[in-house]
Structure 1
């Protein structure tokens, strides 16, 4: 059984991963569940299992596993930043810069 490190529901990455595994009939089990990305990373570094996230979460000590484990492909994810009309605050500008830098 494939050990999964998961963020508690609702989480789009959790749903995508579980749907893909279930569609292929791949057996899985939750090895660790959390509410924070920081503890998700710690569980991954500790070797408790694998997870589905965007490449932006990849940090030293983590690696991409897919074909080597015979895992199903996952769909692309895109992000959008919506703001209210006229919002030109420093925080909004900085967030927009972070999004556009990817």
Structure 2
């Protein structure tokens, strides 16, 4: 089952193209979803990380630069097309409690 799931994500193919040697694509897909929902994958990855850490096999490298992380132009404070509308004047409320 793990090989079927790994094949799917390595190739990027659709589940229906899963080779017959891995069994039913529906079974592999269902197992993947169930394991994601019930937390099996999280427990597996946590155990693998703990084992690798105990064996001192982990080397954390984080690299972030502007070629892979970009903010949307509006998030960066860019003006939208056209001129900025003038501020509307504030007028007192005529509702209850105003005055």
TM-score calculated relative to the size of structure 1: 0.20
* Larger fraction in strand: 1
Query: Higher relative CO (CA 8 A, sep ≥ 6), structure 1 or 2?
Result: 1
